[in-house]
A and B are shown apart, each in its own frame.
Chain A
Amino acid sequence: MKLYIQSKKYGSNVVLKDVSIEFPEGSATLVIGASGGGKSTLMKSLVGLTKFKGYLLKDGNSRVRFNRKNICYISQQPLLNPKETVIQCLYYQTLLSFPNMSKTEALQYAKCFIQRFALSKVENQRIRSLSGGQQKRAAIAHGMLRNLPVIVADEIDSGLDCVLGESIIRDLCRIAHQEHKTLVVISHNLDNIRFFDNIVILAGDEHGTGRVVYSGPTKAVLKHFEAKDIKEVMHIVSNKRYRQNTQDKEEVL
């Protein structure tokens, strides 16, 4: 899958420009970047939440209109009916996603996802009574049961403790590899980078327009920036922008 954003503007402000990213099938990609780098806009463009000038290619040859009907989108805040229990939520989602499935089959299918995402103990609890981590697991199960080839997760580990956040990211990456799905995770957290095959780093240029400063294998990112760890990479990326801004100011003066 390839996303090309020629430009994305909010009013006169260009948020993203000439962004071209490939998301290889069956791989897990992490999108990171400093605030204002355009991560959220990139995610919105990917799942069809905002218009942009560009295209999204599937299999490298055909332009397709992707939206959330064919991309599994897992939002930062779980968008589930708080009145429903976990099993009800997954069961009805299954029935609506696969109308030809019988009620018994749908229940079995929903229960499989409950087990898979370790929600068995809370399956009869209402969504509103679950902890933050359990709600996120329920939201992932809710999205995943549609069995779509592309999964986009927006800051799925935010607001969780590092152990829980890591386990959720690890599980998602494992599923992507095992089931040959394309996973795109947008995150601020740099601790779980080792689980991803590829990494995309976004940074704002001197005008505040987000651009891709790196897109490639995770293993090669340190070598590319000649850095010791990913945090140093982020410092380099941020300082480049800072230096550029300072240069501009000095020139003006």
Chain B
Amino acid sequence: MNKISICINRYFTTNLWTFMKKLFLHGLVLTFVLYAVQEDAFESFGATKTMLFALCITLVVIGFFNAATEFHSQREYLVFDLRTVLPLSVWVISTLIIQSLLVFCQASITVVILIKIFSIKNYFQYFITVFLILFSSDMLGFLCGFLITSSLNTTMSLMAGAIIIQVVLSGVLFTPTGLFEKITKAIVSYHGMCAIGSVADLNSYLPAGYPLEMMYYPDLDYIITAWASLLVLAALECALGVAILYFNLSCTEKYSLTKE
């Protein structure tokens, strides 16, 4: 516990400004995006869907870059610390606490902006949805931060690729079938759109006679399933990131001992 508090204290001593900057930029970017797509939102189905899609993708990108850039920039000295004085478990727990705090603040800012622009009512459901989308994409960034090498080109390609996949397989641009339907189970934006579309009761804006879109089924059980999917995805991404880091740390530490 002592080492965890040391790590958190250390982070905020040196990164408080970066933390505040992230919150400020989050608010700024989200306000800009939501103002850009606000026309007819919560009035027509198309405009509401576009607004929710823009919100979801913005949250995914922000969450992704929360972690990916940070872990990539500190990779070298972090690995050095982890190989010397810092137990991996301590670092993982303290990182999860810090990232959860950051995401909590960002989710709160998002809900405040949504209330100001769209006067949403069920803000608690929005808060949980936004928190889980941000947290899940944050963990995706955490995973990518350790997958990528020190090469800037590889880093940029991988990050761009991850974002493109999130946009394309969100279930909004087309209805995934076959293999793509299975892949979407591991896509944060897909579950995010399911959750946020259901919370916003997107189907209620459909003109009379149009068939309901099952992706946005406005049922509490369905919303809870989408939330659980985001949480499971976050846990899997985190576990995979830690496993990669553990493998990188341990594979070079062993000697192949031979008989004297």
B158 proximal to A (CB < 8 A): no
With A67-B83, A68-B83, A99-B2 known as contacts, the answer to whether A52 contacts B15 (CB < 8 A) is: no
Residues of B in contact (CB 8 Å), total 25
Give B79's nearest chain A residue, CB to CB.
Answer: A79
Q: Which of A87-95, A164-172, A201-209 contacts B (4 or more CB under 8 A)?
A: A87-95
B151 neighbours in A (Cβ, 8 Å): none
Interface residues of A in 114-166 (CB under 8 A from B): 146
B221 proximal to A (CB < 8 A): no
A55 proximal to B (CB < 8 A): yes
A-B contact count (CB 8 A): 68
Residues of A in contact (CB 8 Å), total 31
B15 neighbours in A (Cβ, 8 Å): 83
Task: Tell whether, in the assembled complex, residue B255 and residue A48 are in contact, meaning their CB atoms are under 8 Å apart.
Answer: yes
Task: Tell whether, in the assembled complex, residue B74 and residue A68 are in contact, meaning their CB atoms are under 8 Å apart.
Answer: no
Task: Tell whether, in the assembled complex, residue B258 and residue A88 are in contact, meaning their CB atoms are under 8 Å apart.
Answer: no
Select one of B6, B83, B255, B258 contacting A92, CB under 8 A. B6
Chain A contact residues, CB within 8 Å of chain B: 4, 6, 48-56, 63, 65, 67-69, 73, 75, 79-81, 83-84, 88, 92-93, 95-97, 99, 146
> What are 13 A-B pairs at a CB distance below 8 A?
A48-B255, A51-B256, A52-B255, A53-B256, A53-B258, A54-B255, A54-B258, A65-B255, A68-B84, A80-B77, A81-B77, A84-B13, A96-B6
Identify 5 new A-B residue pairs, CB closer than 8 A, beyond the known A52-B256, A88-B14, A99-B2.
A4-B260, A48-B252, A55-B255, A69-B85, A79-B80
Chain B contact residues, CB within 8 Å of chain A: 2-3, 6, 10, 13-15, 74, 76-77, 80-81, 83-86, 251-258, 260
